[in-house]
Amino acid sequence: MLVLGIETSCDETGLALYDSETGLRAHVLHSQVAVHAEYGGVVPELASRDHVRKTLPLLRQVLDEAGARPGAVDGVAYTAGPGLIGALLVGASIGRSLAWAWGVPAVAVHHMEGHLLAPMLEPDPPAFPFVALLVSGGHTQLVRVDGVGHYRILGESLDDAAGEAFDKTAKLLGLGYPGGPAVAREAERGDPERFRFPRPMTDRPGLDFSFSGLKTFALNTLQEVGADARSRADISRAFQDAVVDTLAIKCRRALQETGLQRLVIAGGVGANTALRERLAVIAAEAGGRVYYPRPLFCTDNGAMIAYAGSVRLAAGQHEPLAIEARARWPMESLAAL
C-alpha cells in the first residue's frame, strides 16, 4: 500500500510517500522559520497562507522523487489535529480532496501519534510496549504505549511545554527563533557551575511537568547579571541543564513505575544532543535502551504522518467525505488497533 502523508499542523509543510512493503519512498519538507523569525514565534495566519502556497508544489516534488504517478497512490493520510486550526484545515482539505479525486480512502492522523510512531521508520524500531516521551513546542507528555492506539497518558505539562519554554527563553535572551537550537548552541559555551536553575516538580510524586517557572527564573537571572555574551551563554547552559535533568528524572520514574525498559523519545526537542545523551544513560540503567527517530524526523514531517496513516488504513480505518480538523484532540480518544 502506497500512502501519501501530508503534515500542516504548525509551521512546517511536509509531504511523504510511504510504501507498506518497501518503506519510505520519498519525503519533502518546507520550513517556515524565515517567515516567522522576525516575529519571534509562529503567526497562525501567515502559517496557513504559506501552507496554501507550498502544499501542491511539494506534492508534485514528492511524486517526482518517488517516481510515482498519482494513480499509484492507494491512500491519503493528513494531520487533522492537534495544532493551529487554520493550518490544519489546509492539509485536511487538500488531503481529503485528493483522496476523493483519486478514488482512494483517506485517514485523519493525530499529530502526536505521528511523532510517537516516527521511530518505526528507523531500521531498528522499538517493540511494544514502551514508554514514550513526546517533547515538542506544543506538548510535553509521558505515555505508556502498548500498541497503536493503546495509549495511557502518565504525565504532561501543566503549563508551557519544554519546547515552548526554550523558545520563550531564547527570545528574552535575544537569541532568535527557533529557540531550541539557539539555546543549545549558546549552552555549549556556557559555564555549568555559574548558575543552577530549579528542577520543577521533581521533589514530589507524579509524572507531570511545569516549565513556565524556568522561563521566569531565566528572566530574573538575566536582569540581575546583565545581558553580556558570557551571561547569555551561562544562562542558556543552566536553563538547558534544568530542562534535561527534569525530563530525565521523570523518564526514570516512568520506567520504574511501569516496569518497562524501552524508552522512545520523539518531537522537536528530542533532537537536543544533551537530552539524548542523558536519556540513553537512564534507559541503560533500567536495563533497556532508548529509541529516537533520526533528527530530520524529530521535527514535524510528512513521513511520520504517512507511516501512521498506513497503519490505520491497513486496519480498515478511513474518513467520510466531511472535512474535520481539531485544534485539541486527546490522544487517549484514538481508536485502538
**Cross-strand partners of 290:** 263
Indicate whether 41 pLDDT > 90: no
Number of domains in the chain: 2
Residues 242, 311, single domain; the answer is no
Residue ranges for the known binding site are 111, 115, 134-138, 167, 180, 272, 300
Taking residues 130-153, what's their average pLDDT?
A: 95
Q: What are the tens digits of pLDDT across the range 321-336?
A: 999 999 999 999 999 9
Q: What are the tens digits of pLDDT across the range 107-125?
A: 999 999 999 999 999 999 9
Residue type, 331: M
Residue ranges for the known binding site for substrate are 134-138, 167, 180, 272
Closest listed residue to residue 266, CA positions, set 303, 239, 232, 229: 303
Whether residue 123 is contained in a domain is answered as no
Whether residue 82 is contained in a domain is answered as yes
Q: What are the tens digits of pLDDT across the range 245-282?
A: 999 999 999 999 999 999 999 999 999 999 999 999 99
Residues 147, 270, single domain; the answer is yes
Residues 147, 281, single domain; the answer is yes
Taking residues 289-307, what's their average pLDDT?
A: 96
Residues 135, 236, single domain; the answer is yes
Residues 153, 288, single domain; the answer is yes
Residues 69, 152, single domain; the answer is no
Question: In terms of residue numbers, what domain contains 264?
Answer: 128-292
**Local confidence band at 49 (pLDDT 50, 70, 90 cut-offs):** very high
Q: Looking at residue 170, which CATH number applies to its domain? A: 3.30.420.40
Residue ranges for the known binding site for Fe cation are 111, 115, 300
Q: What percent of the chain has pLDDT over 70?
A: 100
Residues 155, 251, single domain; the answer is yes
Could you give the C-alpha distances from 223 to 219, 236, 245, in angstroms and in order?
A: 6, 14, 24
Q: In terms of pLDDT, which residue wins out, 126 or 40?
A: 126
pLDDT value of residue 137:
82
Residues 146, 278, single domain; the answer is yes
In the numeric block, the cell 513526546 is attached to 134
Compute the mean pLDDT over every residue in the chain, rounded to the nearest whole number: 96
Residues 278, 303, single domain; the answer is no
